[in-house]
Amino acid sequence: MDYIDLRSDTITKPTPEMREAMAKAEVGDDVYGEDPTVNRLQELAAEMTGKEAGLFVASGTMGNLAGILAHCGRGDEVILGNKAHTFLFEAGGISALGGVHSCQLPNQPDGSLALEDVEAAIRPDDPHDPVTRLICLENTHNRCGGVYQTPEYTRRVAEFAHARGLAVHLDGARVFNAAAAQGIDVKELTAPVDSVTFCLSKGLCAPVGSVLCGSKEFIKKAHRLRKMLGGGMRQAGILAAAGIVALETMTVRLAEDHARARKLADGLKQVPGLVLQAGSPATNMVFVSLDASVPHSVEFVRTRLEERGVLLGVTGARQFRLVLHYWIDDAGVEQAVAAFREAVR
């Protein structure tokens, strides 16, 4: 069966144009810095995010890890949200591998951190305390529902941090979705921060990889850390070639996924027994719950949807997450709504 796969935008396969670029990619040994395609991807990524340099890494997790370790030494503290991907879903790498202590502040429902909370969390210069080094933001915010942060907020946090000698790292796995949702250049969201990671392999459809961007000096440090983490790849231009196509052709179409997310949400809203999460969808993710009138468990409904060719994520005792991406068209949206009608009955 050809599934309508709404579990995540990570399931996207490369486009025919990407496969062609991969087949034709000029490659070299990237550990020697000699892969021209990797170099081109890194330059393009840096230019698009308004940074001096970029570093191609195996995953978003590796980008955040190398980035945070480049900012923080062992025993230093990073301030991040209690719903941050880096805190929840990156296997504790910053503490396990980097000895970085984390201070988790409550994420506001809009995915932001309250500056009063951040102010109160900054450590005094006292031998009892770890040293606060870094603030980590996330845009779009995954666990908060794919919500986006604005340029104003990003600038406010960066100014606040810099005035106190702290750096800011942005986990921008889906930062191009955040830019598309606001109709702005991604630079507005990335230029204010010191470093940013974004994923090529989610909505942008490349098969593998993320890019970490920052100053030349920062990327030099991160480059050594990438090697230490086992992420020095050789003829990685095969992968980077798809990343270049992603940046050149896929970032501009993300608004289509957001429009389809809206269409899907509008359809699901009409299905008796379903309640749309307030504010959903902000970007390409739709969060919907079963109300008390539905006698079935989420697992039961999920199975019935799967039997009808629709795959999706379960994100709570009564909640589902549906993620739109390049491989879901209008017909897929209609089929998903129709399947839901039958599955919740």
Ligand X SMILES: *Cc1c(COP(=O)(O)O)cnc(C)c1O
Residues sharing a CB contact under 8 Å with residue 280, sequence separation 6 or more, in sequence order: 145, 146, 265, 286, 287, 288
- Read out DSSP for 63-111? HHHHHHHHH--TTEEEEEETT-HHHHSSTTHHHHTT--EEEEEPPPTTS
Residue span 200-229 as binding mask against ligand X, x where in contact by CB under 6 A, dash where not? ----------x-------------------
Beta carbon of residue 193, minimum distance to ligand X (angstroms, whole number): 14
9 binds ligand X (CB under 6 A): no
- Between residues 208 and 339, which has the closer beta carbon with respect to ligand X? 208
Site for ligand X in 148-187 (CB under 6 A): 171, 173
Beta carbon of residue 294, minimum distance to ligand X (angstroms, whole number): 29
Residue keyed to tokens 């999460």: 277
Listed ranges 28-36, 55-63, 184-192, 305-313: which one lies at the site for ligand X (CB under 6 A): 55-63
- Between residues 208 and 274, which has the closer beta carbon with respect to ligand X? 208
SS3 152: helix
In one letter, which amino acid is 297? S
Beta carbon of residue 324, minimum distance to ligand X (angstroms, whole number): 15
199 binds ligand X (CB under 6 A): yes
Closest CA to 197 of 59, 90, 306, 70: 59
Strand 101-105 to 76-81 pairing: parallel
321 binds ligand X (CB under 6 A): no
Residues sharing a CB contact under 8 Å with residue 112, sequence separation 6 or more, in sequence order: 149, 153
Beta carbon of residue 210, minimum distance to ligand X (angstroms, whole number): 6
Listed ranges 20-28, 56-64, 123-131, 293-301: which one lies at the site for ligand X (CB under 6 A): 56-64
- ∠ Cα 329 332 337 (to 5°): 135
Instruction: Note the residues at the interface with ligand X (CB under 6 A).
Output: 59-61, 85, 138, 142, 171, 173, 199, 210
